[in-house]
């Protein structure tokens, strides 16, 4: 039996499968996808195994990671239910891992008929920086899996970046912040670059300078225990350009816009997990 299988090879499925193939021997990794050519291409590139059906992926590995879109999950679970039953009858342990946004562990239990059965289900949500090994994945604390199983899973995917675990009551808030912030930061970076172009820089220059500024700032903040506002205060000299720019952002509702974006994303996160 292989170590881990990924059902779905979209952006996150590809990122995690890539990390797994760096963390363990690629021969221990299985991928599949509804679009078979896409799955085969990924397997060929990573040197791992490709199987043509989701049920084969279930039977092939110890950890099974569902990387499909929320609207397709119910159909996929219905398709693989028999495979899970056959594995259980054969005494083969399967550990379910979900990265599907908004879908709770109870959905897997219900749709796969796992009520009263000792089947571990680990709910996680990674972010897109896993693509370069700089991601951050949150894990929902649960009673169905052991600390050893969690540690083994994190070890297999250690090349994806960092991990942290949260109680169920905080999981959605945490994952909304880590999974949506890349989009907001990318918008902010592009806006900074636009400002540089407006002031006369060439686009490649403006892009690089904006990204270097963000990268250095984040690294500085990570290494400091100072309040996040502290760095802003250090940069803003009296009546200086930075202070003038901060005033403009405040006048335009910058803070409230960001807070509301995160709050609205939280609401949507709950909505998309409702299976019909």
Query: What CATH number should be reported for the domain holding residue 36?
Result: 3.40.50.720
Residue whose structure tokens are 């992926």: 57
Q: Does residue 88 sit in the same domain as residue 153? A: yes
Q: Does residue 144 sit in the same domain as residue 180? A: no
Q: Does residue 8 sit in the same domain as residue 144? A: yes
Q: Does residue 180 sit in the same domain as residue 148? A: no
Nearest by Cα to 63 from 114, 119, 102: 119
From CA 166, how far away is CA 113, in angstroms rounded? 26
Q: State the DSSP code for 26.
A: G
Using the 3D structure, point to which of 166, 199, 230 is the last residue of a domain: 166
Ramachandran class of 36: left when φ > 0, alpha when ψ lies in -120 to 50, beta otherwise? alpha
Q: How many of the other CB atoms lie within 10 Å of CB of 230?
A: 12
Q: Does residue 189 sit in the same domain as residue 54? A: no
Backbone φ and ψ for 7, nearest 5 degrees, come out as -95, 105
Which pLDDT value is given to residue 273? 59
Residues in the chain, pLDDT under 70: 273-276
Q: Does residue 156 sit in the same domain as residue 197? A: no
Residue 219, burial from CB neighbour count under 10 angstroms (0-12, 13-18, 19+): exposed
Domain total of the chain: 2
Which pLDDT value is given to residue 83? 94
Q: DSSP characters for 61-126?
A: EEEEEE-S-HHHHHHHHHHHHHHHHHHHHTT---EEEE--TT--HHHHHHHTT-TTS---EEEEE-
Q: Does residue 22 sit in the same domain as residue 131? A: yes
Which pLDDT value is given to residue 274? 61
The whole domain housing 205 covers: 175-272
Which pLDDT value is given to residue 225? 87
Q: Does residue 108 sit in the same domain as residue 161? A: yes
Q: Does residue 109 sit in the same domain as residue 187? A: no
CA angle at 184 for the pair 243 and 171, rounded to the nearest 5°: 115
Q: State the DSSP code for 144.
A: S
Please list the residues that pair with 225 across neighbouring strands. Answer: none
């Amino acid at each position: 039996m292989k170590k881990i299988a990924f059902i779905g090879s979209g952006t996150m499925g590809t990122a995690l499968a890539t990390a797994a193939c760096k963390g363990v021997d690629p021969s221990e990794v299985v991928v599949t996808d509804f679009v078979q050519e896409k799955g085969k291409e990924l397997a060929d590139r990573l040197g791992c195994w490709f199987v043509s059906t989701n049920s084969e992926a279930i039977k092939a590995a110890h950890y099974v990671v569902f990387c499909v879109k929320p609207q397709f999950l119910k159909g996929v679970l219905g398709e693989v239910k028999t495979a899970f039953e056959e594995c259980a009858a054969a005494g083969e342990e399967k550990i379910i891992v979900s990265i599907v946004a908004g879908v709770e562990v109870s959905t897997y239990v219900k749709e796969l008929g796992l009520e009263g059965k000792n089947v571990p289900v680990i709910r996680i949500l990674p972010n897109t920086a896993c693509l370069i090994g700089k991601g951050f994945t949150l894990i929902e604390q649960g009673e169905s899996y052991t600390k050893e199983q969690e540690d083994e899973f994190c070890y297999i995917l250690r090349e994806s970046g960092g991990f942290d675990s949260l109680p169920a009551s905080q999981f959605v808030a945490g994952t909304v912040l880590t999974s949506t912030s890349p989009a907001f930061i990318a918008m902010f970076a592009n806006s900074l670059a636009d400002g540089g172009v407006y002031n006369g820089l060439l686009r490649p220059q403006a892009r690089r300078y904006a990204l270097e500024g963000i990268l250095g700032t984040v690294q500085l903040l990570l290494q400091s225990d100072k309040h996040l506002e502290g760095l802003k205060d250090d940069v803003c000299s009296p009546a200086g350009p930075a202070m003038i720019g901060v005033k403009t952002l405040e006048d335009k509702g910058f803070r409230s816009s960001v807070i509301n974006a995160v709050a609205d994303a939280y609401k949507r996160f709950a909505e998309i997990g409702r299976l019909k």
